[in-house]
């Protein structure tokens, strides 16, 4: 790249690299902006040596890390995240940290050109001895001989836990001659398949599908780092410096700051009431002191960089580089700077680069530059996502970045490899005791698998218990009628009576009500579409500037939603669109763009929100986003004084306010608009259906944009297309900072440390205590623990106005810490709150924890979440696993199927009015979704004048075979897994799906036994038989008999019968004949005298040739 070419020719850079090559210590100053990362990349490239970057500045650590990923690629950058602060009686390293440490060390061991980034707080930690660590590693290769039992034992010794299904780091699973293992150093788990004592293959597989992705020739499995710090005693001391390559060059960034950070750490550790401080000798065993660190640094070539050294006394190498300031999107100021750089003669052969994060942004900026009359011939645009610009006089380099130009936070390009969570398939897996829904019979309790014998041959059925202990056995061919019951977290359904009529009545009444609501909505939206509306203009230059200045990278869903809204606004009838998406997914930015488009055409915008807190949030966000343009934004709520409210209302009527944000106060009779063009309704489900209808009737010609924070499932969105226009935002923002999450034992010093650390950087804290009875006592405890911090509490049983006042005071920063129940779970967006402490985190559900933690990390500040429990050691396994998942999922929207499922259930309930939540509880979410789809389809047919389709009937043939057909325990011993496979077979719609499942099981469990092969063949014959029109297929030792369904057998369908006969005769091979039976009608018989090996497989292949 051209920037790097210019740097290579720099004498200063050449001199610094040469000095490093020759000497032990080099002192430099004056590396500014992203030149620091460029220099590190050049240093590693020129000397072909690993480089270690140590800093005491958290933000600088992230900037350099992200820049190096852009320059060198993520595979060549090693990052060691912050090690736990509050390790007491629990693991010093959480799963993610273990992964980063071990995968980082593996890169260092293998690659001579890695650049390693490590925070000052990490280098003090002692680690297991390097030689012992490598010696204990397991190096497996294809065709290597290894005793199977010994290999299992070695994996146990290395700390792996046996699980039925490998999903997370540190887990292993054994099935027959297959071992699945998920090493902490790996991005994906591996499947080791053995033939006797020989490793036949090593395959990488995906945790979601459990299918192999590719083969590898070798797998190195490193020991897990100790779960408890006491285990360090078993080996001699080692540290990070031992693990670095001995030829590494260590770049020390601001030595004084590193020393200060380490001093602060030791001051904290010496707190007299911290449990770990009770044994002072442990401190020496666990950490290096500053003198030891200096001694360790002396063993490497080092570059000491400081920006604070007095350049008059500095005798090292000075780069004399200047940082670029943020111009906050000011093009006039940019023009003046460019004129100065290019015309003043202060730079020899100046060259200007403008770096953009992506192609779309570059093209958007080039358009703006042309319209702003900036000379593009003087600027070279490049797609290169560095964070900070700089001026390097010696090379004549003038670098701007779009991030810095607009004052954006750091771009977060590195994504955690841990994206697992629970797939929807795993989420729907059945465990004994789960509630299930039988489409025809109602809600029951799953009581496990039951083997039954049919005509001397074994089958397995699902056993379901209904009211009064009645039992229903569901065979494989009927398992597609079974759904796992799901509703809001914690809801317990009513068990149905087997054989009763109540279930059918409930389904019918729900469908009837849904159709009524859908008709009402259709009429309302249709009537608006016949009203004349205002057609807004195409995007202006200012519109492009506003969109280019968005501080985050827009997601595809955001971009699509914004375009759909703008297209609606440009039509000549009123828009009525709903935007759905999780909190934090960027709906408000979409609303800002729509509002700005309206204001550009001299129209006013009203933003209606349900609470004063939301009004304040939107007021701050809208004002901040539009601040550089001549747009007047105001807020109307009861927390504004009467005189201010009067003044705002007067200005609205005069057209002197462009955007007004308010609560129900906006709907008062005294509020009149001069020229209203757009109405935005946020959290639309919190306004009653009648109130929404009245609003829309009042503003019949005005464009309406509604927003909902509960996501709507795509299947429901498709079903409701035509009933209303919807945009879904389901992709999370890419460049938000991850939330540092720790599980810790309840301790007042930890609470004090966490609160004070946030207050010191000017932030606020949420403390979640979900018991109203003791919330006041907990608040008083926190006030005693941090007397210097202002603390207030809130809960849902408070008077509405009192609660609103508390929340307002907290949002306006009158208090620093809010002790609250779950009421902060949704809708609250206070960017200044970046620490959350959740007390008794073990009592919360997974989606509740996910939603709660989503209240922090909503700015460019690093966010912290502390999950407090009474005792980690005494937690039950499920609670600990739940907390570990949250701890490892540090990013917003990180594939969290279980949380999204809960949110979608809420969204589905809100979509058609709050009463629908009751239907979801009564029917289960999946049954409710099925009814909505049926209702929407029938309604569409009614509107098109078509007759409604006949109720769906089960046209799959009944199969009777003379053989066992089930999954043997010896092949798969986990009932939950077996049920999952049975249900997938029962729900298969095509033969290819059965083939894929057969291959999957062969991959995961080895070659299927005969009983399972029979089961596969049975399902394939069921699918093929339906296509051919059979109602019954019987196979015995001598022949296969197939009976056609009655509509084919009927004498009225002579032509259809002849066509069937002709098709079969032309395609079939084998001894077969047609027959006409007295009772069972028309059919065919196939002789099995030639099928000596596998008659069932022979029959299946015969039938497949007929289609």
pLDDT, one tens digit per residue, over 458-473 is 888 999 999 999 999 9
**pLDDT for residue 298 is more than 70:** yes
CATH number at residue 160: 3.30.2060.10
Concatenating the DSSP letter of every residue in 402-419 gives: HHHHTT---------S--
Check whether residue 543 and residue 671 sit in a common domain.
yes
Tokens read off for 325:
């300031």
Percent share of the chain, pLDDT over 90: 34
Per-residue model confidence as pLDDT tens digits over 1014-1027? 999 999 999 999 88
Rounded to an integer, the average pLDDT of 83-107 is: 70
Pair 422, 898: CB distance under 8 Å = yes
Residue 973 — φ and ψ, nearest 5°? Answer: -100, 0
Rounded to an integer, the average pLDDT of 369-373 is: 83
Alpha-carbon span 938 to 714, nearest angstrom: 19
The reported pLDDT for the residue numbered 722 is: 58
Residue 420, SS3?
A: coil
Angle at 703 (CA atoms; ends 697, 709), nearest 5 degrees: 95
In a domain, 271, yes or no: yes
Check whether residue 87 and residue 204 sit in a common domain.
no
Q: Is 632 exposed, middle or buried (0-12, 13-18, 19+ CB in 10 A)?
A: middle
Beta strand 676-682 with 604-608 is parallel
Alpha-carbon span 80 to 62, nearest angstrom: 11
Q: What is the DSSP letter of 915?
A: T
Lowest mean pLDDT among 37-41, 170-174, 572-576: 572-576
Check whether residue 628 and residue 690 sit in a common domain.
yes
Check whether residue 699 and residue 751 sit in a common domain.
no
Percent share of the chain, pLDDT over 70: 84
Residue 478 — φ and ψ, nearest 5°? Answer: -115, 5
Rounded to an integer, the average pLDDT of 18-29 is: 89
Tokens read off for 601:
């055409």
pLDDT higher at 802 or 927:
802
**pLDDT for residue 894 is more than 60:** no
Lowest mean pLDDT among 446-455, 659-668, 685-694, 1037-1046: 685-694
The reported pLDDT for the residue numbered 631 is: 95
The reported pLDDT for the residue numbered 471 is: 93
Alpha-carbon span 728 to 758, nearest angstrom: 35
What is the strand order of the sheet 817-820 is part of?
739-745, 863-869, 833-838, 764-768, 817-820, 791-794
What range does the domain containing 397 cover? 325-405
Q: How far is CA 543 from the centre of its chain?
A: 30
> In Å, what is the CA distance from 318 to each residue of 17, 251, 307, 311, 347?
13, 15, 10, 8, 17
**pLDDT for residue 235 is more than 70:** no
Per-residue model confidence as pLDDT tens digits over 819-832? 999 887 655 678 88
pLDDT interval class at 312 (50, 70, 90): low
CATH number at residue 878: 3.40.50.300
Q: Which of 286, 318, 350 is the last residue of a domain?
A: 318
How far the first Cα of the chain sits from its last, in Å, is: 58
pLDDT interval class at 1083 (50, 70, 90): confident
Alpha-carbon span 58 to 740, nearest angstrom: 13
In a domain, 842, yes or no: yes
Continuous segment of H or E residues that includes residue 1076: strand 1072-1076
CB atoms within 10 A of CB 753: 18
pLDDT higher at 931 or 619:
619
Check whether residue 569 and residue 700 sit in a common domain.
yes
The reported pLDDT for the residue numbered 36 is: 95
Rounded to an integer, the average pLDDT of 141-159 is: 92
CB atoms within 10 A of CB 1041: 19
The reported pLDDT for the residue numbered 1082 is: 82
**pLDDT for residue 1059 is more than 50:** yes
Alpha-carbon span 125 to 240, nearest angstrom: 7
Contacts of 142 (CB under 8 A, 6+ apart): 199, 200, 201, 202, 217, 218
Check whether residue 283 and residue 336 sit in a common domain.
no
The reported pLDDT for the residue numbered 503 is: 92
Contacts of 81 (CB under 8 A, 6+ apart): 96, 97, 100
The reported pLDDT for the residue numbered 232 is: 44
Q: List, in sequence order, every residue forming a beta bridge with 203; answer none if it has no partner.
A: 191, 215
**pLDDT for residue 417 is more than 90:** no
pLDDT interval class at 423 (50, 70, 90): very low
Check whether residue 159 and residue 98 sit in a common domain.
no
Rounded to an integer, the average pLDDT of 708-732 is: 64
Average pLDDT, the chain: 83
Q: List, in sequence order, every residue forming a beta bridge with 635; answer none if it has no partner.
A: 661
Pair 196, 149: CB distance under 8 Å = no
pLDDT higher at 949 or 1078:
1078
Tokens read off for 392:
């390097």
- CA-derived radius of gyration, the chain: 34
Pair 1075, 1107: CB distance under 8 Å = no
pLDDT interval class at 889 (50, 70, 90): low
pTM above threshold 0.85: no
Contacts of 40 (CB under 8 A, 6+ apart): 51, 53, 64, 68, 115, 251
**pLDDT for residue 897 is more than 50:** no
pLDDT interval class at 729 (50, 70, 90): confident
Q: Which of 163, 198, 221 is the last residue of a domain?
A: 221
pLDDT higher at 657 or 690:
657
Closest CA to 335 of 371, 282, 301: 371
Pair 836, 853: CB distance under 8 Å = yes
In a domain, 465, yes or no: no
Alpha-carbon span 1070 to 634, nearest angstrom: 83
Check whether residue 270 and residue 234 sit in a common domain.
yes
Check whether residue 981 and residue 1042 sit in a common domain.
yes
Look at the chain and report how many structural domains it folds into. 6
The reported pLDDT for the residue numbered 409 is: 63
CATH number at residue 348: 3.40.50
**pLDDT for residue 142 is more than 50:** yes
Check whether residue 807 and residue 666 sit in a common domain.
no
Q: What is the DSSP letter of 145?
A: B
In a domain, 1007, yes or no: yes
**pLDDT for residue 413 is more than 60:** no
Per-residue model confidence as pLDDT tens digits over 919-978? 777 787 778 777 777 777 777 777 666 554 444 445 788 898 888 999 998 998 888 888
Residue 595, SS3?
A: helix
Concatenating the DSSP letter of every residue in 215-280 gives: EESEEEEPPPPPSSGGGGGGS--EEHHHHS-TTPEEEEE-HHHHHHHHHHHHHHHT-TT-GGGG-H
pLDDT interval class at 426 (50, 70, 90): very low
In a domain, 455, yes or no: no
The reported pLDDT for the residue numbered 949 is: 47
Rounded to an integer, the average pLDDT of 421-431 is: 52
Per-residue model confidence as pLDDT tens digits over 629-650? 999 999 998 778 899 999 999 9
Residue 162 — φ and ψ, nearest 5°? Answer: -80, 130
Alpha-carbon span 186 to 905, nearest angstrom: 35
Angle at 66 (CA atoms; ends 64, 67), nearest 5 degrees: 65
Which residue has 């090690």 as its token pair?
83
In a domain, 496, yes or no: no
**pLDDT for residue 896 is more than 50:** no
Check whether residue 178 and residue 259 sit in a common domain.
no
Angle at 517 (CA atoms; ends 516, 520), nearest 5 degrees: 90
In a domain, 866, yes or no: yes
Q: How far is CA 492 from the centre of its chain?
A: 28
Continuous segment of H or E residues that includes residue 775: helix 775-785
Handedness of CA 1019, 1023, 1025, 1026 (dihedral sign): positive
Rounded to an integer, the average pLDDT of 840-844 is: 89
Lowest mean pLDDT among 6-15, 250-259, 512-521: 512-521
Handedness of CA 300, 306, 310, 315 (dihedral sign): positive
Lowest mean pLDDT among 61-65, 274-278, 381-385: 274-278
Check whether residue 564 and residue 695 sit in a common domain.
yes
The reported pLDDT for the residue numbered 1038 is: 86
Closest CA to 1042 of 1010, 1087, 1011: 1087
Q: Which of 349, 384, 405 is the last residue of a domain?
A: 405
pLDDT higher at 713 or 535:
535
pLDDT interval class at 89 (50, 70, 90): very low
Beta strands in 795-896 (DSSP E): 817-820, 833-838, 863-869
**pLDDT for residue 238 is more than 90:** no
Q: Is 24 exposed, middle or buried (0-12, 13-18, 19+ CB in 10 A)?
A: exposed
In a domain, 212, yes or no: yes
């Amino acid at each position: 790249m051209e920037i790097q070419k210019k740097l290579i020719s720099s004498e200063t850079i050449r001199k610094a690299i040469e000095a490093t090559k020759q000497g032990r210590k080099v002192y430099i100053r004056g590396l500014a902006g992203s030149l620091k990362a460029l220099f590190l990349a050049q240093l590693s490239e020129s000397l072909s040596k690993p480089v270690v970057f140590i800093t005491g500045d958290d933000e600088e650590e992230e900037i350099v890390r992200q820049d190096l990923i852009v320059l060198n690629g993520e595979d060549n950058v090693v990052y060691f995240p912050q090690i736990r602060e509050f390790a007491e009686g629990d693991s010093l390293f959480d799963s993610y940290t273990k992964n980063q440490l071990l995968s980082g060390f593996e890169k260092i061991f293998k690659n001579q050109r890695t650049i390693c980034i490590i925070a000052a707080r990490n280098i003090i930690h002692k680690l297991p001895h390097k030689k012992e660590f490598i010696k204990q590693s397991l190096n497996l290769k294809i065709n290597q001989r290894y005793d199977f039992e010994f290999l299992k034992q070695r994996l146990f010794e290395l700390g792996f836990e046996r699980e039925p299904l490998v999903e997370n780091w540190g887990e292993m699973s054994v099935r027959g001659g297959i071992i699945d293992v998920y090493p902490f150093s790996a991005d994906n788990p591996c499947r080791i398949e053995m033939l006797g004592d020989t490793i036949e293959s090593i395959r990488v597989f995906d945790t979601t599908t459990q299918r192999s992705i590719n083969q590898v020739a070798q797998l190195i499995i490193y020991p897990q780092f100790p779960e408890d710090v006491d285990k360090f005693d078993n080996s001699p001391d080692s540290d990070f410096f031992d693990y670095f390559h001995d030829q590494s060059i260590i770049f020390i960034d601001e030595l004084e700051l590193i020393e200060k950070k380490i001093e602060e750490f030791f001051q904290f550790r010496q707190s007299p009431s911290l449990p770990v401080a009770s044994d002072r000798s442990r401190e020496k065993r666990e950490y290096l002191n500053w003198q030891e660190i200096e001694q360790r640094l002396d063993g490497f070539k080092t570059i000491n960089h400081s920006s604070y050294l007095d350049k008059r006394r500095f005798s090292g190498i000075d780069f004399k580089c200047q940082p670029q300031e943020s111009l906050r999107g000011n093009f006039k100021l940019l023009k003046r700077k460019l004129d100065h750089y290019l015309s003043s003669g202060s730079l020899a052969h100046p060259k200007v680069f403008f770096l953009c994060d992506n192609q779309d942004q570059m093209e958007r900026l080039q358009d703006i530059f042309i319209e702003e009359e900036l000379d593009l011939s003087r600027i070279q645009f490049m797609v290169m996502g560095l964070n900070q610009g700089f001026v390097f006089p010696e090379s004549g380099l003038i670098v701007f970045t779009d991030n810095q130009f607009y004052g954006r936070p750091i771009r977060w390009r590195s994504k955690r490899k841990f994206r697992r969570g629970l797939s929807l398939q795993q989420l729907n897996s059945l465990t004994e005791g789960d509630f299930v829904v039988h489409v025809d019979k109602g809600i029951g309790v799953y009581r496990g698998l039951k083997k039954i014998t049919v005509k001397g041959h074994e089958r397995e059925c699902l056993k379901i218990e209904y009211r009064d202990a009645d039992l229903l056995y569901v065979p494989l061919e009927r398992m597609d009628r079974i759904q796992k019951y799901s509703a809001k977290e914690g809801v317990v359904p009513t068990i149905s009576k087997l054989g009763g009529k109540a279930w059918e009545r409930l389904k019918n009444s729900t469908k009837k009500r849904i159709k009524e609501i859908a008709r009402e909505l259709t009429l309302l939206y249709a009537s608006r579409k016949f009203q004349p509306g205002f057609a807004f203009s195409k995007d202006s230059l200012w519109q492009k500037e506003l969109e280019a200045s968005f501080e985050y990278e827009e997601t595809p869903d955001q971009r699509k939603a914004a375009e759909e809204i703008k297209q609606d606004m440009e039509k000549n009838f009123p828009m009525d669109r709903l935007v759905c998406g999780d909190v934090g997914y960027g709906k408000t930015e979409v609303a800002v763009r729509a509002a700005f488009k309206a204001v550009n055409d001299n129209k006013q915008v009203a933003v209606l929100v349900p609470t004063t807190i939301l009004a304040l949030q939107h007021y701050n966000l809208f004002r901040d986003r539009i601040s550089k343009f001549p747009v007047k934004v105001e807020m109307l709520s009861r927390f504004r004084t009467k005189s201010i409210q009067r003044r705002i209302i007067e200005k609205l009527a005069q057209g002197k306010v462009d955007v007004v944000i308010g609560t129900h106060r906006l709907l008062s009779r005294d509020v009149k608009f001069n020229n209203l063009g757009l109405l935005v309704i946020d959290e639309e489900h919190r306004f009653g259906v009648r109130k929404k209808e009245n609003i829309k009737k009042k503003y019949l010609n005005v464009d309406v944009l509604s927003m909902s924070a509960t996501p709507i499932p795509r299947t429901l969105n498709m079903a409701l297309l035509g009933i209303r226009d919807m945009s879904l935002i389901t992709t999370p923002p890419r460049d938000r900072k991850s939330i540092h999450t720790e599980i810790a034992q309840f301790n007042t010093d930890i609470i004090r440390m966490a609160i004070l650390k946030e207050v010191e950087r000017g932030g606020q804290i949420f403390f979640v205590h979900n018991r109203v009875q003791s919330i006041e006592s907990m608040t008083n405890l926190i006030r005693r623990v941090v007397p210097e911090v202002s603390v207030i509490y809130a809960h849902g049983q408070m008077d509405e106005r009192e609660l609103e006042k508390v929340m307002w005071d907290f949002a306006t920063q009158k208090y620093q810490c809010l002790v609250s129940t779950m009421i902060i779970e949704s809708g609250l967006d206070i960017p200044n709150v970046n620490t959350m402490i959740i007390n008794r985190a073990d009592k919360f559900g997974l989606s509740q924890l996910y939603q709660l933690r989503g209240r922090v990390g909503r700015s460019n500040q690093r966010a912290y979440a502390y999950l407090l429990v009474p005792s980690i050691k005494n937690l039950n396994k499920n609670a600990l696993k739940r907390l570990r998942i949250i701890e490892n999922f540090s990013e917003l929207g990180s594939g969290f199927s279980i949380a999204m499922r809960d949110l979608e259930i809420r969204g589905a309930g809100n979509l058609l009015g709050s009463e629908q939540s009751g239907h979801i509880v009564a029917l289960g979410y999946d049954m409710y979704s099925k009814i909505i789809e049926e209702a929407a389809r029938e309604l569409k047919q009614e509107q098109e004048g078509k007759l409604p389709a006949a109720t769906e009937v089960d046209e799959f043939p009944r199969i009777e075979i003379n053989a066992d057909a089930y999954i043997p325990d010896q092949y798969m011993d986990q009932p939950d897994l077996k049920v999952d496979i049975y249900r997938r077979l029962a729900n298969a719609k095509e033969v290819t799906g059965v083939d894929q499942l057969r291959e999957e099981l062969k991959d995961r469990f080895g070659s299927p036994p005969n009983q399972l092969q029979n089961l596969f063949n049975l399902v394939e014959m069921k699918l093929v038989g339906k296509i051919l029109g059979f109602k019954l297929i019987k196979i015995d030792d001598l022949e296969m008999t197939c009976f056609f369904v009655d509509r084919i057998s009927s004498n009225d369908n002579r032509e259809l019968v002849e066509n069937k006969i002709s098709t079969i005769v032309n395609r079939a091979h084998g001894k077969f004949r047609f027959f006409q039976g007295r009772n069972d009608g028309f059919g065919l018989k196939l002789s099995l005298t030639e099928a000596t090996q596998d008659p069932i497989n022979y029959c299946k292949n015969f039938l497949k040739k007929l289609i």
